[in-house]
Structure 1
């Protein structure tokens, strides 16, 4: 991910490096802002909520990570590929890796693009269990 920051000409500060480490570590859990903030506070106790928020916002704006809202909470997504997420009753969100689903998502993207004239930036499907 640091390569993406360099490509976007974003300075790699200690806070950004730690955010990247935490995001990578929590990648499969689709962490919330609060989960990310608590994890960073363990290694950088002086970091402010606004610093974490502004850095996450920058990463989302530059398309390095993605965010989505689930039950009033902003969650962060690392995978740029279209895929299905499964939200469990306990709030855990995980990726479903299934080749048939991936093919169907590709079909949806193609239909939206060719028939509706919508160029898809990203596609996120969230299914509740």
Structure 2
């Protein structure tokens, strides 16, 4: 994420089609495996008055927070992601998204390279400062 809490390098945000998901406007619902689920910043989920939002974009009846944190975006999915324990290290790349999230259940090329560098006997080294977007 950048300083404005925008996701960078996401090739597929895993959102449903623009649809009537309730409320006065159509929205893209985050899918269960969307990187938007539970990755919003509660402190930034405030109205113009600076008070925490109680509803998402759809209005009353649609709570702004449904999981361990608000979802990134205008609509709360209601899904929750367990971020209490990181996923197992894997050298098998399972997503084309350029993300580094040890709790998303997927392995990006960036993560696989990081895991490989940490293997015993590895001749490569890396610094998170050398990896753009880390």
Question: Would you say same fold, with TM above 0.5?
Answer: no
More helix by share: 1
- Higher radius of gyration, 1 or 2: 2
TM-score, normalised with respect to structure 2:
0.24
Task: Specify which structure has the higher proportion of strand.
Answer: 1
> Comparing both chains, which one has the higher relative contact order based on Cα–Cα distances under 8 Å and sequence gaps of 6 or more?
1
